[in-house]
Amino acid sequence: MAMPAESTTESSSPDVVSAVSALIPDLRAAQAESDRLSRPPEHIVEKLRAAGAYGLTVPKMYGGLEADMKTWMDTVVEIGKGDAGVAWAVTLVTSCNWAFTSYFPKHVVDEVFSDPNAALAGIFTGRAVKIRPVEGGIHVDKGTWFFNSGVYEATWDLLGVPMFDENGEEVGPGIALVPMSDVKILDDWDTSGIRGSGSTNVSMEDVFIPNERIIPLGPIAEGAHPHTYDGPLPRVAFMPLMANILTYPLLGASHHMLENFLETLPKRDIKLTLYTKAAEAPITHIQIGEASAKIDTARLIIEDGVRQMDEWSQDSEYMPVDLRAKIRRDTAFAERLMWEGVDSLATVSGGSFSWNSNLGNRLWQDVKVGTLHPLISAPSNYELYGRMVAGVEPPLMLI
């Protein structure tokens, strides 16, 4: 059996935030390239790897940082200040690294992380998937998986598949580990925002996956699946974590939006008004006050969820369902606050904001596209919480 090799990750957990923060100028300088490629440029990937970003959620026994949630958040927010799309890719790679090392059999984890630069991407729902049970596993006749963020940096992919009982009957959703050599990258990520995430669709055809590389999604979400690795992060509840982490890139972009607005403010007037200097207009002051309050409040809400997840990671019990639902609700509310703050700055940015070359426009698009992810959709998360407190049984797998 292959044993884990020493990782090339260089930064320690306390240093990783400052290390990626120092890369913000590089990330911003490479934005045009990441937009053109629709994925993180290789030289940026290498710098982030050296800074320790991809090792955030990899256990120390495999050379990773095994960082807590607060370090994870702070790291991705800093990357998001440079390029929200690249930060999104880092977020999804680190979340898949976490899920894989937390729940897959240890000998499988040992095999994957015998490569010191191993990284995982994943998407847990498929489209037009045709899969059948066979002896020892499943056979993928064909299938497509949409929005596989971070897949260009991955050596393995975690893809949603159906699970079957001994009679060949489908019993629920699962997650399958697949080497990237079995996955076709479709290179079709062409969007108005979060372009640097490389969230392309992928497909597979005529692939066998052994049972030891498939785990059930439902018991994981509900806290009933055993943890493979006995470290702090695996005890974080699955669905609140998967939702909360998606706000980190958007928070970084929101901070950058406010920073850019203030930097360019002295150069602007307000056409068809008495104000030749926008910085002197009361409406500008009100917009800045409201937008900054919403962005700062969003951060406080997100951090509160992070604090609770970090605290529960030290407990042997799984986070109770009411708290899981609350973190989901709060995460969605924070997402909405960020978007409202960013959008209010856009409304007072003038006609030049509409140019594709306008940085504010780019950041506005990044935040908006990021908020479209269903895990942080406000109506859906509000409904889940509302059902529970109203006494209507919610689907536990979603919380």
Bridge partners of 341, per DSSP, are: none
One-letter amino acid of 78: E
Taking a C-beta distance cutoff of 8 angstroms, is the pair 182, 137 a contact? Answer: no
Confidence of residue 9 (pLDDT cuts 50, 70, 90): very low
One-letter amino acid of 173: P
Please tell me the distance from the alpha carbon of residue 182 to that of residue 146, in angstroms, as a whole number: 16
pLDDT at 8: 42
Over the Cα atoms of the chain, what is R_g? 21
Does the pLDDT of residue 2 top 70, yes or no?
no
pLDDT at 15: 93
Please tell me the distance from the alpha carbon of residue 109 to that of residue 114, in angstroms, as a whole number: 8
Using the structure block, give the residue that is written with the tokens 């037009």.
128
* Nearest residue to 248 (alpha-carbon basis) of 56, 397, 398: 56
> How much is the mean pLDDT over the chain?
93
pLDDT at 7: 40
Residue percentage of the chain with pLDDT more than 90? 82
pLDDT at 234: 80
Confidence of residue 349 (pLDDT cuts 50, 70, 90): confident
pLDDT at 160: 97
Give the pLDDT mean for 252-273: 92
Give the pLDDT mean for 256-269: 93
Please tell me the distance from the alpha carbon of residue 395 to that of residue 399, in angstroms, as a whole number: 7
Q: Which two tokens stand for residue 16?
A: 């990783």
Phi, psi of 163 (to 5 degrees): -110, 155
Which residue would you say has higher pLDDT here, 281 or 393? 281
Give the pLDDT mean for 49-73: 96
> Which domains, and CATH codes, for the chain?
13-112 (1.10.540.10), 120-216 (2.40.110.10), 236-398 (1.20.140.10)
Give the pLDDT mean for 66-93: 98
Give the pLDDT mean for 169-180: 96
DSSP readout, 170-214? EEEEEEEEEEGGG-EE------SS-GGG----EEEEEEEEEGGGE
Which residue would you say has higher pLDDT here, 144 or 397? 144
Confidence of residue 13 (pLDDT cuts 50, 70, 90): low
How many helices (H) and strands (E) are present in the chain, helices listed first?
Answer: 14, 8
Confidence of residue 241 (pLDDT cuts 50, 70, 90): very high
Q: Which two tokens stand for residue 257?
A: 């939006």
